[in-house]
């Protein structure tokens, strides 16, 4: 049977007023790239969700642009929502790709290749959480790790960033999101098992991915995901979900519970800079930068990542086998969303000691002291990349 090619649509950034659309077909072991036409972008403000949506959300934590005119051959059924683009300018050396999934939908991937390195290092694949997209990694961590010798890829899950919007009220499930990431890895990084790095709810997706690797007998050969060199959980939702977090906040921090509910379930962070700062960032971050990230988060998410009721009913994620993929658990001391007990639960689940970074908040990769978490991760990656470690 002839193997079907994997198609990417590439838009390389050429300035704030224009994007170049390029198309390249990637066959097994071969790439063909064709540059095509120039597009101009126009702005369109998304409507904010109303507070009444809060009533339909049983859990207060973690619910979950300008438009670009494009002419594409229909490859899957989409919603009637217009194609939008997050107003984010790529940095030097970064490219925006669109990976075609088996469904025909396209998933945004922003890549930044490493500079020349004598070491054999695994590629890094970054997965965002609710209200974020690939841009949250592109800001600081992609340049940092690519310059440190690691090919780096940040994905936007369906319904987020510039990825296509599927039919339905939510963008997917743990299974569908993890399968999309697995398809990207298998199609493009098959010969080089990557390190998979997930933040917040993206960390829960990484945990589900890990379960599909180590519990092969439970899932069947067709569901087993490509192997990883390692996994990193950054301020991750714990394996049991956010139910425990909710109860602890309600009984021990009722004011904080109200603020988190207002900020996330009611999307109050989109309207209030102080609330956005308190939810995601350190007090030291200035208003202008908070406003920039607030706008990006507002524009990034066109639908929730999950149906929270169904998600929590499916948890906890399956327990991994011992001596499986190496895992690093990273937390933030000033995290307003994931508390210390949530961090410790994740560490116990994977039988590792969590590393809690001082003076950083939930968005550890965007916060004022983003280098602190990056340095800890780089040290772990360098140890992981030693030949004796990779061959173990």
Task: Walk me through the domains of the chain, giving residue ranges and CATH numbers.
Answer: 43-390 (3.40.50.1820)
Q: Give the pLDDT confidence score for residue 188 in this predicted structure.
A: 95
pLDDT surpasses 90 at 53: no
- For the segment 100-127, the average pLDDT, to the nearest whole number, is 92
Q: Say how far apart CA 328 and CA 350 lie, in whole Å.
A: 9
Q: Give the pLDDT confidence score for residue 378 in this predicted structure.
A: 98
- For the segment 144-167, the average pLDDT, to the nearest whole number, is 97
DSSP bridge pairs for 330: 234, 355
Q: If phi over 0 gives left and psi between -120 and 50 gives alpha, with beta otherwise, what is residue 338? A: beta
Q: Give the pLDDT confidence score for residue 221 in this predicted structure.
A: 46
Greater confidence (224 vs 37) lies with 224
CA geometry: angle 377, 383, 387, nearest 5 deg = 140
Which phi and psi (to 5°) does residue 258 adopt? -65, -45
Greater confidence (132 vs 28) lies with 132
pLDDT surpasses 70 at 94: yes
Q: Give the pLDDT confidence score for residue 363 in this predicted structure.
A: 98
Q: Say how far apart CA 290 and CA 84 lie, in whole Å.
A: 22
Q: Say how far apart CA 339 and CA 253 lie, in whole Å.
A: 11
pLDDT digits (tens, 9 = 90+) for 221-277: 455 799 999 999 999 999 999 888 878 877 777 877 788 777 777 788 999 999 999
Residues 213, 325 contacting (CB under 8 angstroms): yes
Between the alpha carbon of residue 125 and those of residues 66, 145, 202, the distances in Å are 26, 11, 11
pLDDT digits (tens, 9 = 90+) for 309-366: 999 999 999 987 666 799 999 999 999 999 999 999 999 999 999 999 999 999 999 9
pLDDT surpasses 70 at 166: yes
Residues 357, 376 contacting (CB under 8 angstroms): yes
Helices (H), the chain: 135-138, 141-147, 174-188, 201-214, 216-219, 243-252, 254-260, 273-280, 287-300, 308-313, 340-349, 370-384, 387-390
- For the segment 88-94, the average pLDDT, to the nearest whole number, is 92
Residues 134, 108 contacting (CB under 8 angstroms): yes
| pTM across the whole model | 0.76
CA geometry: angle 94, 114, 208, nearest 5 deg = 80
- For the segment 176-199, the average pLDDT, to the nearest whole number, is 95
Check the CA dihedral 164-166-170-171 and report its sign. Answer: negative
**Cβ within 8 Å of residue 7, ≥6 positions away:** 23, 24, 25, 26, 100
pLDDT surpasses 90 at 65: no
Greatest Cα pair distance, the chain, in angstroms, is: 61
Share of the chain above pLDDT 70, in %: 72
């Amino acid at each position: 049977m002839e193997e079907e090619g994997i198609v990417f649509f590439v838009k390389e950034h050429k300035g704030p007023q224009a994007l170049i659309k390029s198309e390249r077909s990637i066959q097994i072991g071969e790439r063909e790239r064709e540059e095509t036409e120039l597009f101009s972008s126009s702005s369109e403000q998304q409507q904010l969700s109303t507070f009444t949506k809060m009533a339909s959300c049983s859990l207060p934590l973690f619910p979950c642009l300008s438009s670009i005119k494009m002419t594409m051959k229909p490859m899957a059924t989409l919603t009637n929502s217009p194609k939008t683009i997050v107003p984010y300018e790529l940095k030097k050396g970064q490219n925006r790709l669109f990976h075609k999934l088996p469904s025909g939908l396209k998933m945004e991937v922003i890549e930044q290749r490493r500079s020349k390195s004598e070491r054999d290092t695994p590629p890094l694949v970054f997965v965002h959480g609710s209200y974020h997209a690939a841009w949250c990694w592109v800001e600081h961590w992609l340049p940092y790790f690519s310059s440190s010798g690691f090919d780096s890829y940040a994905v936007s899950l369906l319904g987020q960033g510039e990825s296509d919007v599927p039919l339905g009220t939510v963008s997917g499930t743990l299974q569908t999101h993890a399968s999309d990431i697995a398809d990207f890895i298998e199609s493009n990084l098959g010969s080089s098992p990557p390190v998979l790095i997930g933040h917040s709810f993206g960390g829960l997706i990484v945990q589900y991915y890990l379960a599909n690797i180590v519990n092969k007998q439970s899932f069947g050969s067709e569901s087993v995901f490509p192997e990883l060199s390692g996994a990193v959980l950054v301020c991750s939702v714990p394996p049991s979900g956010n139910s425990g977090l909710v109860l602890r906040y309600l009984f021990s921090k009722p004011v904080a519970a109200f603020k988190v509910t207002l900020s996330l379930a009611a999307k109050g962070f989109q309207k209030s800079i102080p609330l956005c700062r308190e939810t995601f960032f350190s007090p030291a971050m200035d208003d202008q930068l908070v406003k920039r990230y607030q706008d990006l988060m507002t524009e990034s998410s066109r639908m929730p990542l999950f149906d929270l009721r169904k998600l929590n009913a499916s948890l906890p994620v399956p327990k991994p086998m011992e001596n499986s993929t190496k895992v690093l658990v990273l937390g933030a001391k000033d995290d307003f969303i994931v508390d210390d007990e949530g961090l410790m639960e994740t560490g116990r689940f994977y039988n590792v000691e969590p590393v809690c970074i001082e003076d950083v908040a939930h968005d550890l990769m965007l916060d004022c002291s983003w280098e602190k978490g990056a340095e800890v991760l780089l040290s772990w990656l360098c140890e992981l990349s030693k030949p004796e470690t990779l061959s173990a």
